[in-house]
Structure 1
Amino acid sequence: KGKEASEQFRKGGREDLALKEEREVEVLQAFLPERVSQEELERMVEEAIQEVGAKGPKDLGKVMKLLMPRLAGRAEGKVVSDTVRKKLEGASPVQSSL
């Protein structure tokens, strides 16, 4: 939101308020956990799949239940869910050979 506000202030000719918003965003980001990289997320997903013994897409909930507390504040739920779903569909024994 801060970035959007900053852009709006600039469009309105209020450079002072734009800079203030940017400084506030920088301060807040210092307190947030570091975002997980896609590579690290995929590694964590694979570990969680093995840990819960997930066999296919029907086990999505089990994997998410394990992962989300570990990733709190470090990844968006939709990104995690999409990554888990992709991995589980790849692990599914029922795949088309087309």
Structure 2
Amino acid sequence: MRELFYRRWLQTRLEALLGAWPGVGLASLAFALMHLGSHGSGRPLLDVATVIVVQGTFGLFVGVMWMRYRNLTAIIVTHLIVNGWGVAVALLT
């Protein structure tokens, strides 16, 4: 559901309002900051910087995928693979 909101709804509207790249950037920043609640260490500045770099980079990647292909299924599968990779490795070792 997150990709439905951040890509299909938010990014599409930001692209229409501000242009393609600003729309991708702002949607990716919002996507990254949403992760503060689950990726916090209690050090606010470090937490913000970390989620912007890590989740923001992934947000840019899927944001460009949405901008270029408009294929929500591919983005959701990509997100599932990225999130599931660590779990799969842990289960297999």
Quickly name the TM-score band, shorter chain normalised: 0.3 to 0.5
Please identify the structure whose Cα radius of gyration is greater. 1
Normalised TM-score (structure 2) = 0.38
Return the TM-score normalized by structure 1: 0.36
